[in-house]
Amino acid sequence: MNNLFDYAQACLHNADIAEKLALTHEAKARCSRGELSLAQLTPVADISHVTFPAQPQWLPPRLVPNRKLTQAGGVAAFFHAIAHIEFMAIYLAWDILYRFRGLPDAFYQDWLNIADEEAQHFEMICRHLQTLGLGYGDLSAHGGLWDHARDTADDVLARLALVPRCMEARGLDVTPGIIKKFAAMNDTASIAVLQRILTDEVGHVERGSYWFNTLCNQQGLEPESHYRQLIRHYYQGGKPKGPFNREMRIIAGFSATELDWLEEASS
């Protein structure tokens, strides 16, 4: 393959995990060397063609067991859930790259970089899971993140608002507190994994903010008001719940006005 969108289609339409990871890293390396064409020559397949592994079993969110970190197997279950989030993030990065055409080359290069980092996160968590006696797919998971992808398959601004600027941004809010819990448990290995993910996710959310604002401006839309409109329309329940990590979210491209609205909505 010599075209980035062929790589994207191969990663989205093939359920084999090892091949998906290898192709993601290969595409990133080849694109960095200028070896991949970004010509948009092939049509975009419907999102229903995206294929997932048979394991883990997907259940409705309310049916996925929720174990506390202090319970037996709680840490392993937590990292299995994080592995699933990072695995879905690989799909989400490839899908936004694949599905929305006619955008600047830098858009596709940014999301390829993010897909590669999400793959690194997934591999790192899988290694950590092995030390906890678990493999990815051993427990059930849910498909909530992919539901958001399906809901926004026809609108790149909705995808940017709902995925990097809502669902991924939530990690900026909650991960520092989770790291403190592992610090209280003297679990330095888990802290290292979570800290790496948190550091990279700030950059991922920032790219979501950058492209949301850039594309809104190109379309003559006011970004802050359009963000509020999209979140109200697509987010289940209408408004995300806080508390919000203002410091990290500002670094990741949120405006003070957006954060004030989120906090008002949450309260």
Could you report the average pLDDT of every consecutive run of 10 residues in the chain (267 residues)?
A: 96 97 98 96 95 92 76 88 96 98 97 98 97 94 91 98 96 96 95 97 98 98 97 87 95 97 77
pLDDT (0 to 100) of residue 266: 59
Q: Is 3 helix (H, G, I), strand (E, B) or coil?
A: strand
pLDDT (0 to 100) of residue 61: 78
CB 174: neighbour CB atoms within 10 A?
A: 12
Residue 58 domain-assigned (yes or no): no
**Nearest one of 210, 207, 206 to 218, comparing CA atoms:** 210
Q: Residue 137: phi, psi to the nearest 5?
A: 105, -10
The tokens describing 120, both together, are 């690194």
* Contact assessment for residue 34 and residue 68, using Cβ atoms and an 8 Å cutoff: no
Burial of 148 (0-12, 13-18, 19+ CB in 10 A): buried
Question: Which residues are paired to 37 by β-bridges?
Answer: 3
The tokens describing 78, both together, are 């937590």
Residue 186 domain-assigned (yes or no): yes
Residue 222 domain-assigned (yes or no): yes
Read off the amino acid at residue 262: L
Residue 54 domain-assigned (yes or no): no
Residue 56 domain-assigned (yes or no): no
**Rg value, the chain, Cα:** 18
Read off the amino acid at residue 24: T
Q: Which domain holds residue 22?
A: 4-36+63-266
Question: Which residues are paired to 3 by β-bridges?
Answer: 37
Q: Is 37 helix (H, G, I), strand (E, B) or coil?
A: strand
The tokens describing 28, both together, are 């990133």
- Say how many residues make up the chain: 267
What is the C-alpha to C-alpha distance for residues 113 and 104, in angstroms, rounded to an integer? 15
pLDDT (0 to 100) of residue 26: 98
Predicted TM-score (pTM) of this structure: 0.95
The count of domains in the chain is: 1
Residue 206 domain-assigned (yes or no): yes
* Helix-, strand-, coil-residue percentages of the chain, each rounded to 5: 70, 0, 30
